[in-house]
A and B are shown apart, each in its own frame.
Chain A
Amino acid sequence: MTTHEQFADELPLYAMGSLTAAERAALDSHLEQCASCRQEVERLHGDLALVALSSVGPSPPQRARQRLLKAIAREPRAAAVIVRRRGWMLVPIFAFVVLATFTTLLWHENRRQREQIAALNLQLAQQRALLKQAQDVLAVLTAPDAQHVTLVATQSKPQPGGKTIYLPRRGGLLFMASNLAPLPPRKTYQLWLLPARGGAPLPAGIFRPDPRGTATVIMPPLATGVEAANFAVTVEPEGGSSSPTMPIVLVGAGQ
């Protein structure tokens, strides 16, 4: 944790929903302004999920599954228009025709709206994902404690080079490379994080350069909190490897 040690012991209680209304409100107003405490609440929810999962064991009875499936079948998404048929033969024919037409119109309208809602939901999810990615990128780019590492070629031929910007506490990494040699078919470049505490290099993204030899890796999936001693790039079979294949093409030139 960085700046808000005074809230550190409160945040787990907040995440579990066990604060009083007044304590919760006080923390809410801090969280509105503090991204790092908000992020800690997210992580704590993740930790709480682990506690929850410690109780996995008994399977629910089969009848619970049947019950759920029946319930969702009874509740198709967006309630359909239900027309009671009982007694329809007693109404004049024309009334039935009007009703049927009206129902069809409603059904079409309903379906159109359902499709619209589904499309909007999808759009919203995509926008959220984009926004989250943009926030992550900005946070890493602007963080004063991000590690900036310049990588150069081990054998300086046409001066390929790369730069990583890495923020261990968020597991955030940006990598930009230039003047890379074209790859043979079915090969890829792969970036590696060499952990400061030692141990095997961690895969940090695969990439292929464009015709100008430039490439980027943005926010590959990395665990948070892994300090890096250095970064390196190797050429690997298509799809990447779990451990680097020699030789190293690019390596960090000191930090």
Chain B
Amino acid sequence: MSTAEPEAITTDAALMAGVHSGDQHSMAQLYDRHSSAVYGVALRVLGDSGTAEEVLQDVFMQLWRNPQVFDASRGSLGAWLAVIARNRAIDVLRKRPPESDLAAVAISVNVDLPTALDQNRAIEKIRGALRDMPAAQRSALEMAFFEGLTHTEIADRTGEPLGTVKTRIRTGLLALRKVFCT
């Protein structure tokens, strides 16, 4: 049976194998596949296209220099890159030195992101789930994720108790997880 889906999965893995052996063409293909996710999240965090481009360059150069930081047995490359890009962008936003331990970000996602991304359906589902959340929950989650605010900073900003803020963030994430659990 040769549907498009398994092929997309093996291609990502095969391209990573190419990157491992120093193949620049494989790297270019991975860039074409995942750059808009990396750039999108960096731009959302930083709000500035120039700095977002720097993060984009940085993330893919890290992957080129140390492809072993991505552990394929633990999750999807697209998901991993998106999280790494967010973390890098937050480091830049907060003027922190970049975290060196990229390999610590292990991912476990119940959806085949590269394939779903091709169909754009996954993104629509995520956006739908975010829209359906109570406004306070979505905003706590987005402040923590896209603005890099700590729960204390969010509590200060919204005037809500710390416990409420923490619970909102967690409940929001679990609601997103449910979207892809059949």
Interface 9-mer from A36-44, A88-96, A149-157, A172-180:
A36-44
Closest to A237 in B: B1
| Alpha-carbon distance between A223 and B178 when the two chains are bound, in angstroms | 11
Closest to B45 in A: A55
Given A118-B20, A118-B21, A239-B1, A49 and B44 contact (CB-CB distance below 8 Å): no
Give the chain A neighbours of B74 by CB distance below 8 A.
42, 128, 132
A65 CA to B177 CA, complexed, in Å: 32
Q: Does B150 contact A (CB under 8 A)?
A: yes
Q: Which of A72, A78, A118, A125 interacts with B72 by CB under 8 Å?
A: A125
Q: How far is A61 from B31 in the complex, measured between Cα atoms in Å?
A: 12
Q: Could you tell me the distance between the alpha carbons of A54 and B141 in the complex, rounded to whole angstroms?
A: 12
Q: Which of A56, A60, A72, A76 contacts B123 (CB 8 A)?
A: A56
Pick the contact of B43 from A8, A55, A65, A125 — CB < 8 Å?
A55
A200 to B144, CA, bound (A): 38
Whether B35 and A9, one on each chain, are in contact in the complex, defined by CB atoms closer than 8 angstroms, is no
Known pairs A56-B37, A125-B71; A12 contacts B169 (CB<8 A): yes
Whether, in the assembled complex, A145 has its beta carbon less than 8 Å from a beta carbon of chain B, the answer is no
Chain B residue numbers with a CB within 8 Å of A239 are 1
When each residue 12-51 of chain A gets 1 if its CB lies under 8 Å from chain B and 0 otherwise, what string results?
1100111110000000000000000001011111111111
- B142-175: CB near A (< 8 Å → 1, else 0) gives 1011101111000000000001001101100110
With A51-B145, A55-B44 already in contact, the answer to whether A69 and B24 are too (CB < 8 A) is yes
Residue contact A52 to B123, C-beta cutoff 8 Å = no
CB-CB under 8 A from A11, the residues of chain B are 170
Contact of A53 with B by CB under 8 A: yes
Contacts of A121 in B (CB 8 A): 20, 67-68
* Given A52-B41, A68-B61, A118-B21: A46 and B107 interface contact (C-beta under 8 Å): yes
CA distance A139 to B70 in the complex (A): 24
Which of chain B's residues 51-65 have a Cβ closer than 8 Å to chain A? 52-53, 56-57, 60-61, 64-65
Q: Across the interface, do A43 and B108 meet the contact criterion of CB distance under 8 Å? A: yes
Name the residue among A17, A47, A59, A128 with the largest chain B CB count within 10 angstroms: A47
Residues of A within 8 A of B (CB-CB), count? 64
- Do A42 and B107 contact each other (CB < 8 Å), given the known contacts A48-B173, A59-B36, A132-B73? yes
What is the size, in residues, of chain B's interface with A at 8 Å between Cβ atoms? 80
- Complex CA gap A19/B31 in Å reads 32
Partner of A13, one of B27, B37, B144, B180: B144
Contact residues in B for A58 (Cβ distance below 8 Å): 36, 39-40, 43
Q: Which B residues lie within 8 Å of A44 (CB)?
A: 173
Q: Chain A contacts of B167 at CB under 8 A?
A: 9
A223 touches B35 (CB 8 A): no
A196 within 8 Å of B (CB atoms): no
- Nearest chain A CB to B79 CB, angstrom units: 4
> CB within 8 Å of B: which of A62-106?
64-65, 67-69, 71-73, 75-78
**Is A109 located at the chain interface by the 8 A CB criterion?**
no
Contact of A52 among B35, B83, B180 (CB under 8 A): B83
Determine if B99 and A17 form an interchain contact, defined as CB atoms under 8 angstroms apart.
yes
CA distance A78 to B20 in the complex (A): 11
* B173 with A72: CB separation less than 8 A: no
Instruction: Indicate if the CB atoms of B181 and A46 lie closer than 8 Å.
Output: no
What chain B residues lie within 8 Å of A182 (beta carbons)?
Answer: none
Chain A residues with Cβ under 8 A from B119's Cβ? none
Nearest to A206 among chain B residues (CB) is B1
Residue on B nearest A69 in the bound complex, by CB:
B28
Smallest beta-carbon distance B147→chain A, Å: 10
List 15 interface pairs A-B (beta carbons < 8 Å), by A numbering.
Answer: A13-B166, A42-B75, A46-B108, A46-B109, A47-B173, A49-B80, A50-B177, A51-B145, A53-B40, A58-B39, A69-B28, A125-B71, A132-B74, A224-B181, A238-B1
Given contacts A12-B144, A55-B44, 6 further A-B contacts (CB under 8 A): A49-B107, A57-B40, A59-B35, A59-B39, A60-B53, A122-B17
